[in-house]
């Protein structure tokens, strides 16, 4: 009978091989530990791989080896550590520019664009070639379709140096496309809103900053005797920051200050009924224009825009307060007599009101106007009083007319 194989003799080589593997592993761990602590600390999140390495990652057929990749990473880490130690800083400081516009402090100033414009641009081509002209003036009309012919006549008094903007209170915009100029105009449509509601929301000073002058006009103005560019020449000549064309004196109700005088280019003061003007330099005898056809310089509008109240949409009382925005107001607010208009007094927006208790729609609108005037006067007086009291100054009796 054959003898069983010697199992002890066959297991000895396997045992020796296992011991060698364990010993090698232990030695490898120890050497790895000693090797690792001898290197400077490297934060793997701060390793910046060169573009050549990124290309390798994207190209699996590249001949660059893993060792080459690690060598690049190691060199990059060492260079960063050397630069940081020289500057005594572990991180690049974050951007914070307190003089930037509010909310944009974390942006580098070179990328901040704090103002915009109303110039339409193309959807194609080089952006630098979009604008064939850059109008210097803006004219806005708040309109309904019933005054289409009148607005057509008015717009034709403004050259291509003007951006034309229509605010549609009746929601009807497509009917205006019959006019060639309408295709270039900017149309904004919100039902049953006034021009001061539109102005507050769409004519922010940073939006209209490219314009030297902003015309904010009603729709019922006759312009047969008006030329827009000659008007601007006179405004510049006489240093007017807030102005309006003279009104034909025998058409409708108007203040003495805003009536056209036929013997001069511009006037800035007038005489009113006895007792109406406690100071000859205050409204309605000076520093005063109405709000139907007002023209603002860029700087004056920046101030006036902030004074317009969100909820007081008719603007009544604003004309008496415009003087707060220029100094001296009795010299920088005036009426241009040489370029004059006719107020046709068409109550088209008034008819957008609501009948209530048997009253016509315009009656409710007019009642709201009067109420807003009182609210505005109170707010302005309270704001001025609070300003003086916060500074320990006794408020004057009133600076509000």
Residues 71-101: pLDDT tens digits?
655 565 566 555 555 555 568 999 999 999 9
336, with CB counted inside 10 A (0-12, 13-18, 19+), is: buried
What CATH number should be reported for the domain holding residue 329?
3.90.550.10
- Report the SS3 class of residue 266: strand
At residue 46, does pLDDT exceed 80? no
Give the Cα separation of 277 and 279 in Å (integer).
5
Give domain status of residue 116, yes or no: no
139: left (phi over 0), alpha (psi -120 to 50) or beta: beta
List phi, psi (to 5°) of 107: -100, 145
At residue 45, does pLDDT exceed 50? no
Residue of higher predicted confidence among 4 and 383: 383
Indicate the pLDDT class of residue 292, thresholds 50, 70 and 90. Answer: very high
pLDDT of the residue at 2: 44
pLDDT of the residue at 50: 47
Give domain status of residue 377, yes or no: no
Range of the domain at 171: 137-347
Q: State both tokens at 210.
A: 């490219």
Residue of higher predicted confidence among 281 and 76: 281
Q: Which residues contact 198 (CB under 8 A, 6 or more apart)?
A: 140, 142, 167, 188, 190
pLDDT of the residue at 190: 97
Are 385 and 395 a contacting pair, CB within 8 Å?
yes
pLDDT of the residue at 27: 60
Give domain status of residue 343, yes or no: yes
Percent of residues, the chain, with pLDDT higher than 70: 75
pLDDT of the residue at 264: 95
Name the domain count of the chain: 1
Give domain status of residue 49, yes or no: no
Give domain status of residue 87, yes or no: no
Give domain status of residue 226, yes or no: yes
Give domain status of residue 320, yes or no: yes
User: How close are the terminal C-alpha atoms of the chain, in Å?
Assistant: 134
Indicate the pLDDT class of residue 53, thresholds 50, 70 and 90. Answer: very low
At residue 378, does pLDDT exceed 70? yes
pLDDT of the residue at 17: 65
Structure-token match 């940081």, residue found:
84
Q: State both tokens at 335.
A: 């009426």
pLDDT of the residue at 368: 92
């Amino acid at each position: 009978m054959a003898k069983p194989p010697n199992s002890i003799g066959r297991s000895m080589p396997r045992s020796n091989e296992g011991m060698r593997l364990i010993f090698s592993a232990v030695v490898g761990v120890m050497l790895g530990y000693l090797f690792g602590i001898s290197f400077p600390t490297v934060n793997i999140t701060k390793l910046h791989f060169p573009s050549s390495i990124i290309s390798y990652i994207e190209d699996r057929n590249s001949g660059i080896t893993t060792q080459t990749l690690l060598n690049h990473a190691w060199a990059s880490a060492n260079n960063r550590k050397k630069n940081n130690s020289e500057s005594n800083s572990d991180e690049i400081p974050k951007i914070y520019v307190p003089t930037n516009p509010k909310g944009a402090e974390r942006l580098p100033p070179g990328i901040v664009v704090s103002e915009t414009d109303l110039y339409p641009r193309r959807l194609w081509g080089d952006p630098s070639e979009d604008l064939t002209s850059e109008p210097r003036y803006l004219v806005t009309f708040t309109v309904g379709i019933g005054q289409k012919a009148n607005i057509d006549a008015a717009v034709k008094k403004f050259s291509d140096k003007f951006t034309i903007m229509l605010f549609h209170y009746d929601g009807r915009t497509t009917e205006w496309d019959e006019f060639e100029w309408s295709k270039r105009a900017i149309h904004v449509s919100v039902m049953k809103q006034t021009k001061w509601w539109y102005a507050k929301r769409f004519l922010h000073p940073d939006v209209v900053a490219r314009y030297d002058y902003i015309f904010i006009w009603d729709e019922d103005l006759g312009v047969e005797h008006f030329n827009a560019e000659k008007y601007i020449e006179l405004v510049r000549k006489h240093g007017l920051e807030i102005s309006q064309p003279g009104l034909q004196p025998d058409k409708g109700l108007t203040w003495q200050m805003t009536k056209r005088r036929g013997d001069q280019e511009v006037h800035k003061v007038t005489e009113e009924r006895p007792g109406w003007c406690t100071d000859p330099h205050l409204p309605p005898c000076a520093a005063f224009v109405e709000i139907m056809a007002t023209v603002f310089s860029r700087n004056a509008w920046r101030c006036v825009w902030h004074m317009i109240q969100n909820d007081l949409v008719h603007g009544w009382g604003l004309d008496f307060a415009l003087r707060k925005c220029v100094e001296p107001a009795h010299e920088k607010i005036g009426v241009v007599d040489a370029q004059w208009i006719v107020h046709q007094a068409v109550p088209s927006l008034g008819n957008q009101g609501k009948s209530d208790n048997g009253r016509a729609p315009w009656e409710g609108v007019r009642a709201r106007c009067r109420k807003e005037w009182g609210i505005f006067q109170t707010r302005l007086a309270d704001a001025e009083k609070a300003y003086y009291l916060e500074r320990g100054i006794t408020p004057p009796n009133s600076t509000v007319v």
